[in-house]
Amino acid sequence: MSTRISRDQFGRIIEYLRISVTDRCNFRCVYCMPVHGLEWLPKGDILSYEEIAETVRQLAPMGLKRLRITGGEPTIRPELDRLIGMLRGVGAVEDIALSTNGVKLPQMAASLAAAGLDRVNVSADSLRPDRISEIARRNLGFEPLRALDAALAAGLRPVKFNVVVMRGINDDEIGDFARLTLDREVHVRFIELMPVGEMAGLTWDHVVPSPEVLDRAATAIGALSRADGPRKGNGPAEYYAAPDAAGTIGVITPMSHSYCGSCNRVRLTADGRLRTCLYGTHEVNLRDALRAGQPLAPLFDAALAGKPREHHLLRSDAGGLKALSQVGG
Ligand code: SAM
Ligand code: SF4
């Protein structure tokens, strides 16, 4: 199917759509959600799977050929495999990925892969069971390595682990995560903590800058060289690897503007708003247009025209966001 290339006002090619299917979650990660959760969206405001698929049918030919399903926690929405199947059926879509906390991956990986999912990112902030429950503030028996094995067995490659590094909380595991990459096919991406919302008392003091993370990873497993990422040109991570390692180590530095210049993405919130920057307030309501039978392409073009050049997190402006779970991270 022929697709158009869409550029924003700064000439960036926009080809990647992150789709949040729910704002709810079975975890309450300290850096993401308040312990009692947030005010959830009313069910009627949330796009049905049919509405999400129709949105993708209209926007994929505009150049949005790469999709990521996220949330909240996408695997807690029933019949996620049905949505994946519907999206797989959209001709212009080239790649479908999932971001998950991994709790349900051992049960769901095979059916998601059968429905057409290509690959998966798993949030794994610790390899220690007691610490996992402390960070997630729920004990649901999540085992990162079981989730990894299930994803690999189902062919959901490449598997990436996303680790939000917090000083004094899990930074002593940087070496353990780095060691995993030596003989396991996993791409461990260390993410700088972002100050958004309430954050359970986490402050700037808990941020561990990526250069320090890389130094500590190299201390654990030896010199690291720049490496190709598991997929080229798709995201903000810089990748490194030890010689002959099965996996890679990536760092994501949202606190600098280093990746705004090559930002290729927009976000669809669970209630159908197209958001052009994770931390910007600029968004367009696609849901009402969809429900009124209006075409989405003109709204998409209008949204891109307002996509900001960069975020303002460094001056503690998260664009009114209370949690990344509200917009799909
Ligand atoms: N529930 C899924 C998960 O945890 O992967 C998908 C949604 S979650 C909001 C997406 C990503 O955002 C996760 O990798 C999570 O670690 C990250 N995230 C959430 N809040 C963050 C924060 N304050 N700083 C850095 N990363 C954050
Ligand atoms: Fe849930 Fe993901 Fe946020 Fe953790 S990071 S509370 S798993 S949405």
Q: What is the pLDDT of residues 244-268, one digit of tens each?
A: 999 999 999 876 546 788 888 999 9
Do residues 112 and 154 lie in contact, with contact meaning Cβ atoms separated by under 8 Å? Answer: yes
DSSP E strands in 221-300: the ranges are 225-226, 238-241, 248-252, 265-268, 273-275, 283-285
278 pLDDT more than 90: no
Write down the pTM of the prediction.
0.95
Cα-to-centroid distance, 28 and ligand 2 (Å): 6
Whose CA is closest to 220, among 166, 165, 180, 164?
180
CATH superfamily of 16-326: Aldolase class I (3.20.20.70)
Whose CA is closest to 290, among 125, 48, 127?
48
Separation of alpha carbons 201 and 155, rounded Å: 39
Who's near 232: CB < 8 A, 6+ residues apart? none
Q: Is 197 in the pocket of ligand 2 (CB under 6 A)?
A: no
**Residues 314-324: what's their mean pLDDT?**
62
Cα-to-centroid distance, 216 and ligand 2 (Å): 26
Place of tokens 């130094």: 215
Cα-to-centroid distance, 280 and ligand 1 (Å): 17
108 pLDDT more than 60: yes
Cα-to-centroid distance, 273 and ligand 1 (Å): 19
Separation of alpha carbons 271 and 293, rounded Å: 16
Which band of pLDDT confidence, cut at 50, 70 and 90, is reported for residue 329? low
Average pLDDT score, the chain? 91
18 pLDDT more than 90: yes
What number does the ligand 1 atom closest to the CA of 32 have? 20
H or E stretch including 121?
A: strand 119-123
Token reading at 68: 């990521």
**For the segment 48-107, what is each residue's pLDDT rounded down to a tens digit?**
999 999 999 999 999 999 999 999 999 999 999 999 999 999 999 999 999 999 999 999
- Give the pLDDT score at 328: 65
Q: Is 73 in the pocket of ligand 2 (CB under 6 A)?
A: yes
Residues 262-293: b if buried by 16+ CB within 10 A, e if exposed:
ebbbbbbbbbbbbbbbbbbeebbebbebbeee
The protein residue with its alpha carbon nearest to ligand 1, atom 20, reads: 32
**For the segment 137-152, what is each residue's pLDDT rounded down to a tens digit?**
999 999 999 999 999 9
Which band of pLDDT confidence, cut at 50, 70 and 90, is reported for residue 320? low
Q: Is 264 in the pocket of ligand 2 (CB under 6 A)?
A: no
Q: Is 161 in the pocket of ligand 2 (CB under 6 A)?
A: no
**Residues 215-231: what's their mean pLDDT?**
93
Regarding predicted confidence, which is higher, 194 or 312? 194
Which residue among 20, 30, 33 is best mutated to probe the pocket of ligand 2, counting the most ligand atoms within 8 A of its Cβ? 33
**Residues 26-32: what's their mean pLDDT?**
95
What number does the ligand 1 atom closest to the CA of 122 have? 5
C-alpha dist (Å) from residue 246 to 108, 127, 185, 186, 200: 25, 19, 5, 7, 36
Residues with CB under 6 A from ligand 1: 25, 31-32, 70-71, 73, 99-101, 123, 162, 164, 191, 193-194, 196, 324-325, 329
Cα-to-centroid distance, 36 and ligand 1 (Å): 17
Going from N- to C-terminal start, the domains of the chain cover 16-326
Q: Is 32 in the pocket of ligand 2 (CB under 6 A)?
A: yes
309 pLDDT more than 90: no
The protein residue with its alpha carbon nearest to ligand 2, atom 8, reads: 72
